[in-house]
Amino acid sequence: MTNPKKDNFIFPFEGLKHEGTIILLPYREDTWEDKGLKAFDEFKNIISKIALHEHVYVIKSPMVSYDTSSLHMENVSIHELDYDDSWARDNTLIFLKKDNSIRAVDFGFNAWGGKIDGLYSSWEDDNLLGEKLANMLNIEFYSDKNFILEGGSIHTNGFKTLLTTEACLLSKGRNSNLSKIEIENHLKEMLNIDKVLWIPHGIYNDETNEHVDNMACFLDENTILLASSKDKEDIQYKWSMEAKKILENETTALGNKINVILVNVPNPYLRLTKDEALKIKPIDGAKPRLEGDRLAASYVNFYMGNDFIILPKFNVKEDQEAYDILNNFYKGSKKIYQIESRNILVSGGNIHCITMQI
């Protein structure tokens, strides 16, 4: 194999039919309350809803200590592999397509910043996971381990346009040996992309260096859903308006004007409670989680397939607003499941972060 661009494999839009979804079960005590047990019901609920539409490949680490027998359901298979944490969006593979063939790219992973600002100090099992999954799924893959890239840091419209944030891809802990244009050219080659849309920031206090999948995503070829804030004094409002201006003055790779739809984050923003902070056990080299920390809650962090959407629910008034925006846009063509995901949020991500489409 040469590279995806030469082989004409494309990075497809998420909202199409999938071969399946990958989900890794949580277990780390420095990330998850009660070693993942508290979040397991949310994971199970998400798995059960996706399984109504497509196969779910549940990956279970030998470190998972709670009972998972309730996951033995139709359209779900359970496989055992080693990994350091359960953010399948970032430590698995990026899947590409040509006609009916699937290939993957196995990028390097260093826990969102390596020794500079990574979230834990050992990530070897995460970095080895992509190849193991490709072998398990019997999918050929391109190895690109010298280039650090997480799936949550990119979105595509499926028509050779990529969306990302400068805060993440230009961070010192990833590919600091490369310039912005060198990073862009590498993305074009390895993902068969013609145009990269850069916005400066993501969601404030997003510990991934502001992944784009918490901030903005394509709803279709020419429409981007962008997180914003009702509070004009909030830094999130400033960052979102900056992104909106950039995107509305940009075009896709095919030259089409971009339409931007805003969706508000919870207002007032959500914070980590004392009880939640106490139940996450800090260890050396891991990011501390402290009472009062601002949580990077966003409705953009949803997961979608051809006929479904799994949308975060925070039990605040903005839940309904987000539901209505997506339901109106897709005119009921995608079944929307709103699932409470507070425990996933507390651990640093949300529904899009724990899923990866094949």
What secondary structure does DSSP assign to 264-302, as a single string?
A: EPPSSPPB--HHHHHTS---TTSPP--TTPBP---TT--
CA angle 351, 199, 183 (to 5 degrees): 95
345, 353, 356, 358: which is the annotated catalytic residue?
353
Instruction: Please give the structure tokens belonging to residue 349.
Output: 């991500």
CA angle 137, 138, 143 (to 5 degrees): 95
CA angle 237, 238, 240 (to 5 degrees): 65
Q: What is the DSSP letter of 153?
A: G
Distance between CA atoms of 189 and 145, rounded to whole angstroms? 15
Instruction: Please give the structure tokens belonging to residue 60.
Output: 């279970």
Specify the DSSP element, H or E, that contains 185. helix 180-191
For the question of residue 353 being annotated catalytic, the response is yes
Which residue type, as a one-letter code, is found at position 18?
A: H
Distance between CA atoms of 246 and 252, rounded to whole angstroms? 12
Instruction: Please give the structure tokens belonging to residue 250.
Output: 């940009």
Residue numbers annotated as active site: 353
